Structure 1
Amino acid sequence: MAVDPAAPQRYRRVQALMAARMAQQVLRVWRELMNPAKVDASWLAVRAALMPIVQQAREQSAVLARAAYTDARRDAGIDGELDPSDPLPLALKRLESALDVTGPVEFKKAIAAGKTPQQAMDAAAVRMVGSTQYLALEGGRQVMQRSVEADERATGYARVTDADPCAWCAMLASRGPVYKSAKTAGDPRQGGNRYHDACACQAWPAFTNDEPFIGVAEGLYDDWLRETRGRGGKHAVNAFRRWWEAEGRAQYRAPGQPNP
């Protein structure tokens, strides 16, 4: 069966839609249950309502990734069955801490900085959405990464970006399908498994050593070589970041995006 070149971006969009729906639920709970006049008194109920929302979204992300990995493996013509790996369990204390820091702690910091209660509520909401989306999407990202590591037929995975990646994500995408594990070395762009709050990137598996670059990643690779020539390590990273912020980002067009 022929490999569908649109599959990686389609998968990324499905994960993004799931995360957006979860964000709507998080915001609704925050706005309806949080009392800015009684932050500490109302927070425990808010946190209790938020936790299952994040946990369920994390499992949904993992389910989407398992199906996508199985389909990608089949489409690549790989014989034999392989059960995709599960994500690592989300520790309860980690989830509670993430919610505490982006909820009441962020609210109080905003108030101390002179924000109005409504402004503080909004600031905390932004932080909370970014953090909870990270934890939810981590489910699918870990399925992809752990499955590639465990699959002898997989050669690596690539980073798939949205239409407006930051310099860090564009840099990692420029490597193409080379990430096999967290220990990938030999390049300052080695952290393929590193994501950030509000990051829309996903991982996509590769099954041959001459796997084509996804989308515009090959162009980004050429950009990386040009902008970092003669530099190494953090100096190369900084050079690429300066170029990306000055002109590269404005020129970038993800697959399916119209030209200006």
Structure 2
Amino acid sequence: MAWAAVDPADEASWLRYIAQAEELCQTARTKSADTAFRYLERFRDAELKALGVTAEPLAVGAPGLSVPGELEGALSSYGPGYVNRLVANGVPLEEAKRLAMSGQIGDATGYVLRSGRKVVADGINRDRRCIGWRRVCSGAACSFCAMLASRGAIYKTEATARGSRGASLSVHGKGTAKGGEVHRACQCHMEPVYSHRSRPTPQERHYDAVWREAGGDPIQFRRLIEGRA
């Protein structure tokens, strides 16, 4: 059932829409987790081989199924209630539904990608060979993500180099490690780091140069990232 067929005044049409969206998104979440595992496995093998290390296979925990009602909770901010509020303020119904759809896409993106992010975060946390991570942005990163990426590699802690337990990487919530934060519709991912000799990537060097050009001012940095300076 397409969003266009949902009647904001008919709760049953919204529930039918959610049921179909959950089926589609659960399939996408599974693909997200599978893709993340393959990425992590191949990237780790290539990086450790370059360091001359033959490492044991990495065991990564499955992200698990979504909680019942989780997707509806994620999309409800842009559901019928949102549409009705816009219409009550004079926005035409079709335009209100278009705006709602845009919001839903952002929330659904985060919902789907979260399972893949959990796989990578779990791999980073469990892997004793991994000493940290770096943020890799999409081609159209917002200034928040670009600022975090400009910091380069984030190490678990200095204690990691001595073999003791360091900081862990989470994908959301207050426990999120510095540099691992994500926002709704964020398309960044975390890339494992296996050596303190790891050099900044071209993307990190670019964002760092922009940060320096902005004089460390977040507002000016945003203007430069958005091409408004």
Report the TM-score range of the alignment, normalised by the length of the smaller protein. 0.7 to 0.9
Instruction: Return closer, same or farther for 1:46/1:226 CA change in 2, 3 Å cut-off.
Output: same
CA contact (8 A) 1:130 1:198 kept: yes
Residue 56 (1) aligns with residue 32 (2): no
Residue 207 (1) aligns with residue 194 (2): yes
Instruction: Return closer, same or farther for 1:30/1:118 CA change in 2, 3 Å cut-off.
Output: same
Deviation at 1:134, TM superposition (A): 0.5
2:126 to 136, 147, 150: 150
2:191 alignment partner, SS class: strand
Residues 48-76 of structure 1, C-alpha deviations (whole Å, 9 max, x = no match): 11111112111111111000000011101
Counterpart Cα distance in 2 of 1:143 and 1:112: 43
Deviation at 1:40, TM superposition (A): 1.9
2:134 alignment partner, SS class: strand
CA contact (8 A) 1:110 1:123 kept: no
Counterpart Cα distance in 2 of 1:171 and 1:179: 17
Q: CA RMSD in A?
A: 2.4
Residue 34 (1) aligns with residue 10 (2): no
Residue 195 (1) aligns with residue 172 (2): no
Counterpart Cα distance in 2 of 1:88 and 1:179: 27
Counterpart Cα distance in 1 of 2:3 and 2:131: 43
Counterpart Cα distance in 1 of 2:78 and 2:29: 18
Aligned residues: 207
In the alignment, which residue of structure 1 is the partner of 2:75? 99
The gaps in structure 2 that reach 5 residues or longer are 157-167, 171-176
CA contact (8 A) 1:102 1:131 kept: no
Deviation at 1:227, TM superposition (A): 4.2
In the alignment, which residue of structure 2 is the partner of 1:23? none
Deviation at 1:35, TM superposition (A): 2.6
TM-score (structure 2 length as normaliser):
0.80
Residue 69 (1) aligns with residue 46 (2): no
Counterpart Cα distance in 1 of 2:81 and 2:197: 48
Instruction: Return closer, same or farther for 1:63/1:98 CA change in 2, 3 Å cut-off.
Output: same
Counterpart Cα distance in 1 of 2:201 and 2:83: 40
Q: How does 1:1-260 map to 2 (within 5 A)?
A: 29-31=2-4, 33-36=5-8, 38-76=9-47, 77=49, 78=53, 79-87=55-63, 89-178=65-154, 180=156, 181-182=168-169, 191-224=178-211, 227=214, 239=217, 241-250=218-227
Counterpart Cα distance in 1 of 2:62 and 2:24: 19
In the alignment, which residue of structure 2 is the partner of 1:17? none
Counterpart Cα distance in 2 of 1:47 and 1:193: 30
